[in-house]
Amino acid sequence: MQTYQVEIETINADYQMISVPLFQSLLWVITEGSKGALRLCTEGRSTVRGAPPQWIKNATNFSIAFRDKKLYIQTPTLNDIALELFQQSDEFAELNSEQTSLDYFQDSLAAVILNSQFSELETNSTLDLLYDKALLEVFYGFHKVFQQGAKSIRFLNGNKIQITPDSIPIFRKLKSIVPFPCQIKIVGILESIRNYDRTFNLLVNNYLLKGISKHMFCKEINTMIGTEVLIAGTAYFTVTGKVLRIETNQIIIPEEHERNLWRKLPLPISG
C-alpha cells in the first residue's frame, strides 16, 4: 500500500473542513483519471462503454482521510491487487507492478501540463501517448473543483503537479486539436495478442502499434503470430498525429499487391 498527499487550497480559511461538492468533484477526477490512465497503458484507450475490468476497479479502491487542508489517499500497488497478473505472467508488460494507479494518473497529468509548454507543432510525441481525448475530458473536470471554491490542487508525491484555474484552458485546447479517427488499412507483423482484453501488437516499419479487436480472437488468429497480416479498421491519434491505437474486426493474411500498398503508418485526415 502507498499513501499520497494532495494539498487543497480553498477560499475557506478552515483547514479542517471542505465542502462536499468540492470533495466529490476532486475525487471523481482522481478516480476516473486513475482508471483511464491504467487502461490507456494497456489498451491504448482510457475509456470504453461498459464497466472497466475488475483489476482496474481494485487498483482504484482508495481509502481517504482529510486534515490540515491535505487529502490523504491510500491505494494498493498493482502487485497488491492482482499478483497473478503482474508477477506470474507477462500479460501486462506495459505496467510496473510496483506502482499504483495514482502513479499512472500523475504521469498522464504531468505529461499534459508539460506538453502545454510547447507550441502545437512542437508538442512532445512521446508524452502525448500518455493521454487521449477522453482522459483530457476527465482532467477538464478540475474546472468543477474550482467552481466549488478550490484555489489550487497540488499533488505532493511523485511529479508534484499543481493544478490551478489557469490549467483548465490547457485541457480544453488539447482536446480541441486531437485529430479525428479515420478508417485505415495497414500491413504489419502480428507481434503478439492478448485474449484477456482482446489487444494485439503490430510491428510496422519498426514501429510497434497497439490494436484492439472488437471480437474475441479465434484460433486461426493465434496461428498468425509472427507473420504479416492486413488490419482493416479505425485509427485513433494523439495530439501530434501519432497513431495511438487501431480498433478492428478484421485480421487477415494480405494478398501480394496489398503488402506494398498498405505498409505505411496511417496519418490523420487534415481538417
Per-residue model confidence as pLDDT tens digits over 149-168: 999 999 998 788 999 999 99
pTM, full prediction = 0.89
**What's the pLDDT score for residue 121?**
44
Please state the domain count of the chain. Answer: 2
3-state secondary structure of 191: strand
pLDDT greater than 60 at residue 122? no
Which pLDDT does position 129 carry in this prediction?
Answer: 87
Cβ atoms of 67 and 6 within 8 Å: the answer is no
Query: Is pLDDT of 120 > 60?
Result: no
Burial of 189 (0-12, 13-18, 19+ CB in 10 A): middle
CATH code (residue 234): 2.40.50.140
What's the chain's average pLDDT?
88
- Most confident of the ranges 95-99, 119-123, 141-145, 196-200: 141-145
Residue ranges making up the domain that contains 69:
2-177
Looking at the predicted structure, is the pLDDT value of residue 146 above 60?
yes
Q: Are residues 50 and 88 in the same domain?
A: yes
What pLDDT is stored for residue 6 in this prediction? Answer: 96
Is residue 172 domain-shared with residue 188, that is, in the same domain? no
Give the span between the Cα atoms of 148 and 144, in whole angstroms: 6
Does residue 24 sit in the same domain as residue 156? yes
When computed from its CA atoms, the radius of gyration of the chain, rounded to whole angstroms, is 20
Of 53-57, 86-90, 140-144, 151-155, where does mean pLDDT reach its minimum?
A: 86-90
Q: Which of 34-38, 117-121, 239-243 has the lowest mean pLDDT?
A: 117-121
* Same-domain status, 77 and 206: no
pLDDT at 63: 96
Name the DSSP class of 99. Answer: S
**Which comes out higher in pLDDT, residue 131 or 115?**
131
Give the pLDDT of residue 12: 76
Do 67 and 138 belong together in one domain? yes
Closest to 13 (Cα-Cα) out of 160, 155, 151: 151
pLDDT band of 104, cuts 50, 70, 90 = very high
Secondary structure (H, E, C), 16-67: CCCCHHHHHHHHHHHHHHHHHHHHHHHHCCCCCCCCCCHHHHHHCCCEEEEE
Last residue of a domain, one of 122, 155, 177: 177
Between CA 205 and CA 226 the distance in angstroms is 14
Residue 268 lies in a domain: no
State whether 62 and 132 are in the same domain. yes
What are the tens digits of pLDDT across the range 210-246?
999 988 787 888 889 999 999 999 999 998 889 999 9
**Confidence band of 206 (pLDDT split at 50, 70, 90):** confident
pLDDT at site 195: 82
- At residue 138, does pLDDT exceed 70? yes
Encode 120-159: b = buried (16+ Cβ within 10 Å), e = exposed. Answer: eeebeeebbbbbbbbbbbbbbbbbbbbebebebbebebbe
pLDDT tops 70 at residue 271: no
Residue 194 to residues 27, 216, 265, Cα–Cα distance (Å): 32, 10, 22
Q: Are 165 and 113 in a shared domain?
A: yes
Strand order in the sheet with 63-67: 63-67, 70-75, 2-10, 150-155, 162-163
Q: Are residues 114 and 231 in the same domain?
A: no
Does residue 170 register a pLDDT over 60? yes
Q: What is the pLDDT of residue 203?
A: 94
